[in-house]
Amino acid sequence: MAAKSKKKAPGQVPAAFEAPLSKRRAILQYVLSGIIALGLIGWGLDSLLETRWILFAGIALGGLSGYYVAAAHGLTSTKPKPPTGGERPDEG
C-alpha cells in the first residue's frame, strides 16, 4: 500500500512561514531567560564565594539585560515601523 499524502487546506501555511510570536510573549521570554541564566550564574558564584547577595544581583541584572535585548530587537517600541521598499507614502 502506498502512503497517502496529506494535503493542506488552501488557507494553511507551513509552520516555517507562520507569524512570529507576539511581542509581549517574546519580551517575557527574553526577560525570563535573562533572569534564569544570570540567576544560575549568581547562584553558582554565591556557593563558590560563600556569599548571599550575588544571586539577587544576578536576578536583577538578568531581568534588565533581558529587557535590553528585547528593546534592541525593537519589541518594546510602540512606534509603527517605516515601510520597507517601494515608494514612500508622501510620493505620489
Residue, of 67 and 15, whose pLDDT is higher: 67
pTM, two decimals, is: 0.64
The long-range contacts involving 47-52, CB below 8 angstroms and separated by at least 24 positions, are none
pLDDT for position 13: 61
| Chain CA centroid to CA 3, Å | 39
Number of neighbours of residue 62 by Cβ within 10 angstroms: 22
pLDDT for position 66: 95
pLDDT at 20 over 90: no
Residue 76: which pLDDT band, with cuts at 50, 70 and 90? confident
